[in-house]
Structure 1
Amino acid sequence: MSSEQLTSIQDVVVFDVFKLYKDISERVWNYSEDENIQEFSNFLISQIESKIISSNFVFNLIFVVSLFRPRIIRQMNQITSIISKKYVKPYRDFASTASFTNLNVFISQKISNIIFNDDSDALNSYIINSNGEIKIEFLKEACRLGSINCFKYLIMNFDGPLDDLAKFAVASGNLEIIRILSQKGVDFNNCFKIAIHSNHNEIADWLLENNSENNCSIYDAYVAKNYEAISYFINKGVEQNENVDFLVFMASEENCFDIVKFLHEKGYSISGINVIQYCI
Structure 2
Amino acid sequence: MKRLFIGHTAKPVESTITFTAIPNELKCVYDIEDIVYAINNQNQQDSELKLLELLNNRTDLVNYTLNCIINAATKAPKYIFDLISIFENICKAYNSKKKLEIDPLLIPENDSVWENILYDDVDKLQVKIAIPEFDFNQRNRADQTLIDYSASCGSIQCFKILLLHNCRVGRRTAEGAIHSGNYEIIRILEQKSIKFDNCLGIALENRRNDIADWLYENYPVERVTISECIQYNNLQAFSFYLKNDYSLIETYNSYSCLGISVETENIDLIKFILPKGVEINLGKISGGIQYYF
Answer whether TM exceeds 0.5 for this pair: yes
Q: Structure 1 237/245 Cα, relative in aligned 2: closer, same or farther at 3 Å?
A: farther
Question: Displacement, 1:226?
Answer: 1.4
Aligned CA distance change for structure 1 residues 30 and 220 (closer, same or farther; 3 Å)? same
Q: Are the aligned partners of 1:192 and 1:214 in contact in 2 as well (CA < 8 Å)? A: yes
Identity of aligned residues (%): 25
Q: Answer yes or no: is 1:164 the counterpart of 2:172.
A: yes
Partner of 1:99: none
Once the two structures are superposed, residues 80-108 of structure 1 have per-residue CA deviations (whole angstroms, 9 ceiling, x without a partner) of 223333212289x9xx9xxxxxxx68975
Q: What SS does the aligned partner of 2:145 have? A: helix
Cα offset for 1:258?
3.8
Q: Deviations over 1:8-63 (max 9, x none)?
A: 211322222222211121111112312344x6445434533432552320122112
Match of 1:126 among 119, 125, 128: 128
2:251 to 242, 254, 259: 242
How far does residue 266 in structure 1 lie from its aligned partner after superposition? 2.9
Query: Which amino acid counterpart does residue 197 of structure 2 have in structure 1?
Result: N
Matched, 1:202 2:210: yes
| Aligned with 1:88 (options 79, 97, 101) | 97
- C-alpha separation in 1, matches of 2:169 and 2:53: 49
Shift, 1:160, TM fit = 2.9
In the superposition, the TM-score normalised over structure 2's length comes to 0.78
Q: Which moved more, 1:234-243 or 1:163-172?
A: 234-243
CA distance in 1, matches of 2:196, 2:13: 24
Relative to structure 2, which stretch is displaced further, 228-237 or 121-130?
121-130
1:25-40 equivalent positions in 2, closer than 5 A: 25-37=33-45, 40=47
What is the TM-score with the length of structure 1 in the denominator?
0.81
Q: 1:211 & 1:33 partners in 2: Cα distance?
A: 34
When residues 49 and 195 of structure 1 are mapped into structure 2, their CA distance, relative to the original with a 3 A threshold, is: same
- Partner Cα separation in structure 2 for residue 53 and residue 169 of structure 1: 36
Q: Which residue of 2 aligns with 1:14?
A: 22
Q: Judge conservation of contact 1:263–1:269 (CA < 8 Å) in 2.
A: no
Paired position in structure 2 for 1:70: 77
- The runs of 5 or more residues in structure 1 that have no matched partner are 97-103
Gaps of 5+ in 2: 3-10, 138-143, 284-291
Between 69-78 and 109-118, the greater mean CA deviation after superposition: 109-118
| Change over 3 Å in CA distance of 1:201–1:173 after alignment to 2 | same
CA contact (8 A) 1:33 1:72 kept: yes
Distance 2:263 2:53 in 1: 20
Task: Supply the AA of the counterpart residue of 1:111.
Answer: V
- Aligned amino acid, residue 115 of structure 1: I
Q: How far apart, in 2, do the equivalents of 1:216 and 1:184 lie?
A: 28
The letter of the residue matching 1:155 is: L
Quote the offset at 1:144 in angstroms: 1.8
In structure 2, relative to structure 1, the CA distance for the partners of 1:106 and 1:167 (3 Å cut) is: farther
Question: Which amino acid is 2:69 matched to?
Answer: I
Offset of 1:253 from its aligned partner?
A: 4.5
How many residue pairs end up in the alignment?
265
Report matched runs for 1:1-280 at 5 Å.
Answer: 4-37=12-45, 40-41=47-48, 43-51=50-58, 53-85=60-92, 86-89=95-98, 109=110, 110-129=112-131, 131-135=133-137, 137-239=145-247, 240-243=249-252, 246-271=256-281
Q: Secondary structure at the match of 2:216?
A: helix
Q: Which shows bigger deviation, 131-140 or 182-191? A: 131-140
Distance in structure 1 (CA, Å) of the matches to 2:99 and 2:122 = 42
Aligned AA (2:269)? I
State the distance in 1 between where 2:39 and 2:164 align. Answer: 32
* Cα contact 1:56–1:90 (8 A) shared by 2: no
What is the alpha-carbon distance in structure 1 between the residues aligned to residue 214 and residue 68 of structure 2?
A: 25
CA contact (8 A) 1:105 1:137 kept: no
**For 1:202 and 1:4, how far apart are their aligned partners in 2?**
19
Q: What is the CA–CA distance in structure 1 between the aligned matches of 2:208 and 2:217, rounded to whole Å?
A: 15
